[in-house]
Amino acid sequence: MPDVLLVGGGIMSAHLGAMLKRLDPRLVIEVHEAAPDLAGESSDGWNNAGTGHAGLCELNYTPPPAVAGAPVDVAKAVEIFARFEQSRQFWSYAVANGLATRPAEWIRAVPHLSFVRGESSVAFLRARHAALVAHPFFRGMEFTTARNVLHGWAPLLVEGRAIEAIAATKAGAGTDVNFGELARRLLAWLGAQEGCRVFTGHRVTRLRRAERGWEIVVRETKSGESRPVRARFVFIGAGGGSIPLLRGAGLLVAHGLGAFPIAGQWLVCENPAVVARHFAKAYGPPPRDSGALGGPHLDVRHLHGKRVLLFGPFATWTTRFLHRAGRITDLPLSIRPDNLGALLRTGVHNQALVRFLVREACQGMDARLRALRAFYPEARAADWRLVDAGIRVQALKRADAGRLYFGTEVVTAPDGSLAALLGASPGASVSANIALQVIQACFPEKLRDGEGHARMKTMLPSFDTDLGQPSAAAAHMQRAAEVDEVLQLPRADGGL
Ligand SMILES: Cc1cc2nc3c(=O)[nH]c(=O)nc-3n(C[C@H](O)[C@H](O)[C@H](O)COP(=O)(O)OP(=O)(O)OC[C@H]3O[C@@H](n4cnc5c(N)ncnc54)[C@H](O)[C@@H]3O)c2cc1C
């Protein structure tokens, strides 16, 4: 009987499995992935933006103040940076200890830019920059309104642009991460450890309380045969498949839980002449009415040894909960009397967002290219094609009374025998922190004894420190270069 059963072979299960095994090498751990391969859903490189979310460029983490001239609140950006630092710490541990080698194949240094147009947005970006550089995390961030400086940072954003007020910030310590590749490496390491197995083509179809832990029904996709597996602890890291499983497990926390999928699409450019001229991730402001979904961005990506440009994401309509294995019946079949109210209330409370999603989903290629040209004025239609990205499945809780929260949330059974993950943002970037939260909630005894505490300290040196506090942040930043060195992340400009 496994001590730990992880449902889903994505980035979240990969982090939790690897961290738990290093914390307690005696643990027997099984991973059950429904697809024939690992990390092919949201974690796959093509299905997400690969941004190492650290609050450097994403304008949705620092909304404009309600009163003009008031200071910009950067608390969320500081929090995200601190959580991303835990991922970087764990990744450098993983490289140094052979859990995920050759980091250049899954993480790259890519400057993170925020880019705005128009006088009021320029004033906001200036104020945001002033608030951010006051914190040790963001001290090296640069701000410019000068076209020649911006041309040096990102020529495509400037060439062919009409005269208008523009501004940008640049953080040299940004990253582009292939989360799918990283997940596959961590899972390959886990599967090779004593007492651990990683199954693909094995779908978890049911979870039921057992005397000590859970009885899980697993169906082998190829043969169609089902078999029961018992485990003391279950983590539902099934991405879009998590909410139906969680509801089926009969936990109180899942009562009345609804799910709403939002699919994404990218414009992709593979023309080497264009790709060679953009070497950043450039984020714009979130469109009006888009809630906390985030703004469009023009990114260089490094995927499987190739450089490409992505622009988007564009939201689009779907009733599937998974990109590859989802069914059009996923949404209709998820609606039950106990969650219908949450679904309807969310629609009523978020009419502007619903209108935005309908507009986005209905737009044609011309409108998408217009959005692209706001970033890259000389973009040629012939260089770009539309591809599907992953699906975010938004959890709708009764208690939220129709309000939408776009964060990533860990929910647990009261006895700590099960944990699940809801939500998508900031997602994969904070997977080490998510794994830590699960361990703190469900395996507190493993951190209490001296040996466990020391092991966790080696994996995540900041796990018991509030890094957001300026003094801790300043001390931490002095050691950030050590992590960069292990991850082979050169900082060309020597700072952020
Ligand atoms: C358009 C888009 C852009 C994004 N951009 C970023 C970004 O730039 N940076 C970032 O940090 N995050 C980003 N994210 C979020 C990030 O992709 C996700 O948070 C992360 O990949 C989730 O990982 P996961 O392991 O929970 O899920 P997944 O990667 O979806 O893995 C879940 C796995 O579970 C399997 N599964 C499902 N049901 C079952 C079952 N019943 N039994 C067994 N297996 C099952 C699936 O096949 C899948 O392999 C983005 C997401 C989207 C959609």
Residues 6+ apart with CB under 8 A from 247: 254, 257, 334, 336
Two tokens, residue 459: 């994996």
Is 60 exceeded by the pLDDT of residue 494?
no
Predicted TM-score (pTM) of the model is 0.94
Q: How confident is the model at residue 194 (pLDDT cuts 50, 70, 90)?
A: very high
- Report the alpha-carbon distance of residue 315 to residue 355 in Å, rounded: 12
Cα of 249 vs centre of ligand 1, distance in Å, is 21
Instruction: Please compute the mean of the pLDDT values over residues 176-196 and round it to a whole number.
Output: 98
What confidence tens digit (pLDDT) does each residue in 245-271 have? 988 888 888 888 888 888 889 999 999
Q: Whose CA is nearest to atom 52 of ligand 1?
A: 48
CB 380 within 8 A of CB 161: no
Cα of 215 vs centre of ligand 1, distance in Å, is 24
What confidence tens digit (pLDDT) does each residue in 401-413 have? 666 666 778 999 9
Most confident of 255-264, 307-316, 340-349: 307-316
Closest atom of ligand 1 to 264 CA is 1
Cα of 15 vs centre of ligand 1, distance in Å, is 13
Sequence spans of domains, the chain = 4-484
Share of the chain above pLDDT 70, in %: 96
- Report the alpha-carbon distance of residue 259 to residue 251 in Å, rounded: 16
- Evaluated on CA atoms 248, 252, 257, 263, the torsion sign reads negative
pLDDT at residue 496 in the model: 45
**Per residue, what are the HEC states of the chain?**
CCCEEEECCCHHHHHHHHHHHHHCCCCCEEEECCCCCCCCCCCCHHHCCCECCCCCCCHHHCCCCCCCCCCCCCHHHHHHHHHHHHHHHHHHHHHHCCCCCCHHHCEEECCEEEEEECHHHHHHHHHHHHHHHCCHHHCCCEEECCHHHHHHHCHHHHCCCCCCCEEEEEECCCEEECHHHHHHHHHHHHHCCCCEEEECCEEEEEEEEECCEEEEEEEECCCCCEEEEEECEEEECCHHHHHHHHHHCCCHHHCCCEEEEEEEEEEEECCHHHHCCCCCEEECCCCCCCCCCCCCEEEEEEECCEEEEEEEEEEECCCCCCCCCCCCCHHHHHCCHHHHHHHHHHHHHCHHHHHHHHHHHHCCHHHHHHHHHCCCCCCCHHHEEEEEEEEEEEEECHHHCCCCCCCCEEEECCCCCEEEEECCCCHHHHHHHHHHHHHHHHCHHHHHCHHHHHHHHHHCCCCCCCCCCHHHHHHHHHHHHHHHHHCCCCCCCCCC
Q: Among 30, 32, 37, 43, which residue has the most ligand 1 atoms within 8 Å of its CB, making it the best to mutate?
A: 43
- Report the alpha-carbon distance of residue 110 to residue 125 in Å, rounded: 20
Q: How confident is the model at residue 291 (pLDDT cuts 50, 70, 90)?
A: low
Mean pLDDT score across all residues of the chain: 92
- Report the alpha-carbon distance of residue 189 to residue 14 in Å, rounded: 10
| Position 336, amino acid | R
Two tokens, residue 146: 């000068």
In sequence order, what are the beta bridge partners of 117? 166
Cβ of 425: how many Cβ atoms within 10 Å?
21
Ligand 1 pocket residues where CB is under 6 Å: 7-13, 32-35, 39-43, 48-51, 53, 179, 203-204, 237-239, 241, 245, 264, 313, 322, 325, 389-392, 421, 424, 426-429
Is 50 exceeded by the pLDDT of residue 104?
yes
- Report the alpha-carbon distance of residue 8 to residue 36 in Å, rounded: 11
- Report the alpha-carbon distance of residue 174 to residue 299 in Å, rounded: 12
Cα of 43 vs centre of ligand 1, distance in Å, is 5
Cα of 357 vs centre of ligand 1, distance in Å, is 21
What confidence tens digit (pLDDT) does each residue in 206-230 have? 999 998 899 999 999 999 999 999 9
Residues 6+ apart with CB under 8 A from 450: none
State in words which class domain 4-484 has. alpha beta
Cα of 241 vs centre of ligand 1, distance in Å, is 10
| Position 30, amino acid | E
Instruction: Please compute the mean of the pLDDT values over residues 382-391 and round it to a whole number.
Output: 94
Q: How confident is the model at residue 356 (pLDDT cuts 50, 70, 90)?
A: confident
CB 304 within 8 A of CB 102: no
CB 254 within 8 A of CB 336: no
pLDDT at residue 424 in the model: 65
Rg (CA), the chain: 22
